[in-house]
Structure 1
Amino acid sequence: MAHPWIHLIPGYTLEELMENLHKRGVEDLNEVKAAYMEADGHISVIIKKASD
């Protein structure tokens, strides 16, 4: 399933993104509400709450 926010992270493959998310304890893209590339190149991740 395509996630609408993935295209907002230029320069990352899906594999690189998943590796980055796994380091944060995320096992499934469905756990992620949004992800943003910061000006310094790091990715910030917002995890879904149970109520989302």
Structure 2
Amino acid sequence: MLKWALFFAIVAVIAGLLGFTGIAAGAASIAKFLFILFLILCVVFLVLGFVITKKAVD
């Protein structure tokens, strides 16, 4: 998912440099959404990992 966010961020930068502002804005919003989703899932799985590890050790 992070790979797709970086891909869309690069597409947004290239499109912005070439003057395609509509495409750049769309790609930037997709990249932002995917990055936020990645961060949320990362935190959720990190917390789940700590909870499961604590229960497995006890």
Higher share of residues assigned helix: 2
Higher share of residues assigned strand: 1
Give the alignment's TM-score, normalised by structure 1.
0.30
Give the alignment's TM-score, normalised by structure 2.
0.28
